[in-house]
A and B are shown apart, each in its own frame.
Chain A
């Protein structure tokens, strides 16, 4: 790795941690007009509880229910919606003493990879404030949360990750982004996009902050039927800590798998270079690098879009202009004998084009004629992908309904390592016309389908490798993916990588 780039990067990090101590609300009022990360900022609280998160400001994605601020989901349907209850994560943050500083922009209902599908307008990537000629995407759908952290507007932020919505913007904005194991953080109060995939995630500029926030919110919640019971959490984390404590340091003796399918031709060459650099560093610290294969990876993206869209079409049925959203009267020529026609106009008006597209796709996938070939087929693929992962990990999957035992023949691993995205942050102008925006999720959806913990670690870029005349090189992310429930191990490895970057 280029030494001067590393220095420059750590200098950026240091300056950011300085700004973190400043008044975040002032930074928001200064920077938000250009970044557009926040859609609502809370007034400075008169008093806060004392707790493990005392002194931290935390931004919350605007699809997580709050009683004091609206929860718009960046949709016209919920433009004025204020929830009558707080999400469990909000309660936990408040009980831990955090200052919930505001709500952040997102792609409508979490659907998008670039945070451009929003009634609040697109989020602008704050990584390179000097670049005035071009605006780059912060990534999505938790673009506001990632940008808020990257711009130093808060210490940490909550996002949600359905297929990569925390990891992708974290990668584009140069911050840490964790999608925890499915079921570790309560979804009560998180507006559903696709329940079987939705996870509350954490974004932070420092790993210690992320760990503190994670410790406060990863709690069993009886209000969430998919919340993992405490005994399963303990089984998985005990196994992981046994593995970790058997080694001298975090990295020494760590078995890191490099999945060959995660380096498709779409991955840009400079990203490959930087990943190689990190792998070399890890080897030097005593980690064992093992090439592995997850053969079903290529089916993951299509299975993901079928399942996520199907669930979305179901979850978004309530936004019909009668229960939620404004009612738009059907036209005079409408056949009012069909109930559906009464709702069609409201839904065609209240939802943005991307949401409409996914609802239509999902509705089709669930229709009687398509169900077997689309929905059921995608569910089968999802199981095959889970089996792929369960075969290669040293630790068994405690959350799985039918635990798959690791293959005795092939070598097993502790974590996987791969690039978080195929590229760096795209231009906002580019994103509008880019048909390939779905492809950006290709590296993040497998962990979502399998419910595994995945952490995107920011890696500094080399000099002079950015188009558009910018003098900075844009950050990339490297993902550490672990077996279900090994979030603490994944975070510990993230910490080790953070320390490597600082030196």
Chain B
């Protein structure tokens, strides 16, 4: 049910229509920016997001990851072999539709593909298949929270599906270009905004919000560093109240930081240019007023400046042509309804829901959990991937249903994520099942094992993945607590060094699984052994030097390999010393 609410809260179609009817400068109230007083900076952004599908947009080649060897994910179609034909991957369309619904777009019932022609070595067929004339979806809107400012609404002009190009790398030593076709033909979604953005900060917030949305939808990893998301920005400036200026497009920005820097530099550059042109024309009113030459520009990541790539005169004629093979993509009402039915929740809605449902979970912990999920909540081809949130909820609802969500969240965010990070394993490849993890928490909560043992057990289970019940592993490792502690939960400072047990050690001592009072004699024996092993410390303690108690406790803890509760050990030791004194 909450899904329907999400869609509605993104802005009703009525609002979207309202925006369309108005002239652009009416849509936003002017706010002076100290960096360029008296000027209005207008920005529109084209975002290219790689679609998170298993296979490419028009071929059955699997999509490659950034670490795959070059030219290993290629079929003849991707290399434009003569005689090959495209076949539309319906999963890419579904993920495009998800995005369209999340952006509250109207979906074209009939969309088509077109060929965009240009010669370049990273484009094997000499054309890119895109959607020029009739894109998948149009006229949407995205609500964007801007830090330390009012939220804004950015209208979405259209969403189109298109092919990615191959990757070309220039080897300066051999003076040759190398082409990697792994990326050739991968599905991209181009999301075009209207020029509703007014500052670099708003642009950054827009891209971050879009990124989070795409990840939540499972539509894209949205990873700018790895190139699965790239932005082109259109920037224009005009004096306040004047009509829109001529825009320049800055291509291929691959981080939000660079994008914001590019907009800042471009705004300054255009304002300086217009100011100098106006000054040069003297005091007479100029007809027509000076304008910035329309250009396509690049961004220099070292100097943080933009530079000219080509002017309007050199703009290539892409000779768009309807693709004669792919025909019309018909999107039925049923298909849209099915996509809407399975639309994943947006991050802010998930957070609100979790806060209500699990009052004992700390908000900071939930934020950690949601951050883990970005990009992984949904699997390939939009399949429910479990993700960290789903995993967390499965652990909470498992067992007898009485697990404390706060404790589960702490164990998950502190211990599991920490140990996974140490092992350099992403959460998505975590091998511990929710049942195993839940049982581990139950064992600790029920004092069957100590917290220290729990952490050790987790480490062991991550190193030796299996589907065995946690308790069985704990018994094998002789981690069952020696005595129940009557105190509170073991504090984190009680962590004591212990020798990791090896699984071979377990076979030598068959240990009784019953954890309750029967363990006491063993604990007692261990304490007595410690007293015997450290006669000087024992004497000091007897003489009333209580500070040596910790040393004795530590000895017992080491001997018990973490199975003993520190408070119980302390009590037992005191008992032994006292009884010896009396």
Q: Give the chain A neighbours of B80 by CB distance below 8 A.
A: 318, 323
- Bound Cα distance from A83 to B124, whole angstroms: 16
Contact A311 B324 (CB under 8 A): yes
Contact B117 A196 (CB under 8 A): no
Contact A226 B325 (CB under 8 A): yes
Q: Which of A138-192 contact B (CB under 8 A)?
A: 187-192
Nearest B residue to A337 via CB reads B314
Q: Taking A226-B327, A340-B119 as contacts, is the C-beta distance between A191 and B321 under 8 angstroms?
A: no
Size category of the binding interface on chain B: 20 to 34
Q: Give the chain B neighbours of A196 by CB distance below 8 A.
A: 324
Contact with B along A363-402 (1 / 0, CB 8 A): 1001110010001000000000000000000000000010
Contact B88 A366 (CB under 8 A): no
Contact A317 B126 (CB under 8 A): yes
Contact B81 A84 (CB under 8 A): yes
Q: Give the chain B neighbours of A53 by CB distance below 8 A.
A: none
The answer to whether the Cβ of A222 comes within 8 Å of any Cβ in the partner chain is yes
Nearest B residue to A73 via CB reads B82
- Bound Cα distance from A124 to B458, whole angstroms: 81
Q: Give the chain B neighbours of A190 by CB distance below 8 A.
A: 83
Q: Give the chain B neighbours of A363 by CB distance below 8 A.
A: 319
Contact with A along B298-325 (1 / 0, CB 8 A): 0000000000000000000101110011
Contact B81 A83 (CB under 8 A): yes
Contact B125 A195 (CB under 8 A): no
- Bound Cα distance from A311 to B86, whole angstroms: 15
Q: Which of B125-140 contact A (CB under 8 A)?
A: 125-127
Contact A83 B82 (CB under 8 A): yes
Q: Taking A65-B82, A314-B115 as contacts, is the C-beta distance between A84 and B319 under 8 angstroms?
A: no
Q: Taking A222-B87, A318-B82, A324-B82 as contacts, is the C-beta distance between A343 and B327 under 8 angstroms?
A: no
- Bound Cα distance from A352 to B82, whole angstroms: 18
- Number of A-B contacts defined by CB within 8 Å: 95
- Bound Cα distance from A71 to B84, whole angstroms: 13
The answer to whether the Cβ of B326 comes within 8 Å of any Cβ in the partner chain is yes
Contact A366 B117 (CB under 8 A): yes
Q: Taking A317-B125, A366-B319 as contacts, is the C-beta distance between A225 and B326 under 8 angstroms?
A: yes
The answer to whether the Cβ of B151 comes within 8 Å of any Cβ in the partner chain is no
The answer to whether the Cβ of B293 comes within 8 Å of any Cβ in the partner chain is no
Nearest A residue to B330 via CB reads A401
Nearest A residue to B58 via CB reads A225
Q: Give the chain B neighbours of A83 by CB distance below 8 A.
A: 81-83
Chain A contact residues, majority secondary structure: loop
Q: Give the chain A neighbours of B321 by CB distance below 8 A.
A: 310-311, 314, 366, 375
Contact B125 A318 (CB under 8 A): yes
Contact A314 B325 (CB under 8 A): no
Nearest B residue to A367 via CB reads B317
User: CB < 8 Å: which of A65, A224, A323, A367 contacts B319?
Assistant: A367
Most buried by B among A71, A320, A340: A320
Nearest B residue to A77 via CB reads B82
Contact with B along A69-81 (1 / 0, CB 8 A): 0010100001001
The answer to whether the Cβ of A271 comes within 8 Å of any Cβ in the partner chain is no
- Bound Cα distance from A145 to B325, whole angstroms: 26
- Bound Cα distance from A190 to B121, whole angstroms: 24
Write the nearest CB–CB distance from B90 to chain A, whole angstroms: 12
Contact B87 A225 (CB under 8 A): yes
Contact B317 A318 (CB under 8 A): no
Write the nearest CB–CB distance from A326 to chain B, whole angstroms: 16
- Bound Cα distance from A320 to B328, whole angstroms: 30
- Bound Cα distance from A340 to B121, whole angstroms: 11
Q: Taking A310-B321, A363-B319 as contacts, is the C-beta distance between A317 and B117 under 8 angstroms?
A: yes
- Bound Cα distance from A368 to B315, whole angstroms: 12
The answer to whether the Cβ of A339 comes within 8 Å of any Cβ in the partner chain is yes
Nearest B residue to A222 via CB reads B87
The answer to whether the Cβ of B76 comes within 8 Å of any Cβ in the partner chain is yes
Contact B82 A81 (CB under 8 A): yes
Nearest B residue to A342 via CB reads B119
Q: Give the chain B neighbours of A324 by CB distance below 8 A.
A: 82
Q: Taking A310-B321, A363-B319, A375-B321 as contacts, is the C-beta distance between A320 and B126 under 8 angstroms?
A: yes
Nearest A residue to B110 via CB reads A401
Q: Give the chain A neighbours of B117 by CB distance below 8 A.
A: 314, 317, 366
Q: Give the chain B neighbours of A239 by CB distance below 8 A.
A: none
The answer to whether the Cβ of B24 comes within 8 Å of any Cβ in the partner chain is no
- Bound Cα distance from A260 to B504, whole angstroms: 96
Contact with B along A320-344 (1 / 0, CB 8 A): 1011100000000000000110110
The answer to whether the Cβ of B85 comes within 8 Å of any Cβ in the partner chain is yes
Contact B115 A188 (CB under 8 A): no
- Bound Cα distance from A371 to B81, whole angstroms: 28
The answer to whether the Cβ of B120 comes within 8 Å of any Cβ in the partner chain is yes
- Bound Cα distance from A65 to B84, whole angstroms: 10
Q: Give the chain B neighbours of A317 by CB distance below 8 A.
A: 117, 119, 125-127
Write the nearest CB–CB distance from B114 to chain A, whole angstroms: 10
Q: Which of A96-118 contact B (CB under 8 A)?
A: none
- Bound Cα distance from A314 to B123, whole angstroms: 13
Q: Give the chain A neighbours of B126 by CB distance below 8 A.
A: 314, 317-318, 320, 323
The answer to whether the Cβ of A87 comes within 8 Å of any Cβ in the partner chain is yes
The answer to whether the Cβ of A290 comes within 8 Å of any Cβ in the partner chain is no
The answer to whether the Cβ of A348 comes within 8 Å of any Cβ in the partner chain is no
Contact B82 A191 (CB under 8 A): yes
- Bound Cα distance from A320 to B76, whole angstroms: 17
The answer to whether the Cβ of A85 comes within 8 Å of any Cβ in the partner chain is yes
Write the nearest CB–CB distance from A408 to chain B, whole angstroms: 29
Q: Give the chain B neighbours of A224 by CB distance below 8 A.
A: 85
- Bound Cα distance from A371 to B116, whole angstroms: 13
Q: Give the chain B neighbours of A78 by CB distance below 8 A.
A: 82
The answer to whether the Cβ of A223 comes within 8 Å of any Cβ in the partner chain is yes
Q: Which of B91-127 contact A (CB under 8 A)?
A: 115, 117-121, 124-127
Contact A192 B127 (CB under 8 A): no
Q: Give the chain A neighbours of B325 by CB distance below 8 A.
A: 195, 225-226
Nearest A residue to B328 via CB reads A401
The answer to whether the Cβ of A422 comes within 8 Å of any Cβ in the partner chain is no
Nearest B residue to A191 via CB reads B82
Contact B119 A339 (CB under 8 A): yes
Q: Give the chain B neighbours of A311 by CB distance below 8 A.
A: 321, 324
Write the nearest CB–CB distance from B373 to chain A, whole angstroms: 36
Write the nearest CB–CB distance from A335 to chain B, whole angstroms: 12
Q: Give the chain B neighbours of A192 by CB distance below 8 A.
A: 82-83, 85
Q: Which of A57-96 contact B (CB under 8 A)?
A: 64-65, 71, 73, 78, 81, 83-85, 87
Contact with B along A184-228 (1 / 0, CB 8 A): 000111111011100000000000000000000000001111100
Nearest B residue to A194 via CB reads B324
Q: Give the chain A neighbours of B118 by CB distance below 8 A.
A: 339
Write the nearest CB–CB distance from B184 to chain A, whole angstroms: 11
Write the nearest CB–CB distance from B428 to chain A, whole angstroms: 32
Write the nearest CB–CB distance from B65 to chain A, whole angstroms: 25
User: CB < 8 Å: which of B86, B115, B127 contacts A225?
Assistant: B86
Q: Give the chain A neighbours of B79 by CB distance below 8 A.
A: 323
- Bound Cα distance from A78 to B87, whole angstroms: 25
Besides the contacts A83-B81, A317-B127, what 8 more A-B pairs have beta carbons closer than 8 Å? A64-B83, A187-B85, A189-B83, A191-B82, A191-B83, A195-B325, A339-B118, A342-B119
Interface of A with B (CB < 8 Å)? 64-65, 71, 73, 78, 81, 83-85, 87, 187-192, 194-196, 222-226, 310-311, 313-314, 317-318, 320, 322-324, 339-340, 342-343, 363, 366-368, 371, 375, 401
Chain A to chain B contacts (Cβ below 8 Å), 29 pairs: A83-B81, A84-B76, A188-B84, A189-B83, A189-B84, A190-B83, A191-B83, A192-B83, A194-B324, A195-B85, A196-B324, A223-B87, A225-B86, A225-B88, A226-B85, A311-B321, A314-B126, A317-B117, A317-B119, A317-B127, A318-B124, A323-B80, A323-B126, A339-B119, A342-B119, A366-B117, A367-B319, A368-B319, A371-B320
Interface of B with A (CB < 8 Å)? 76, 79-88, 115, 117-121, 124-127, 317, 319-321, 324-328
- Shortest 10 CB-CB contacts between residues of A and residues of B: A317-B126, A366-B319, A196-B324, A195-B324, A65-B83, A189-B83, A191-B82, A318-B80, A318-B125, A343-B119
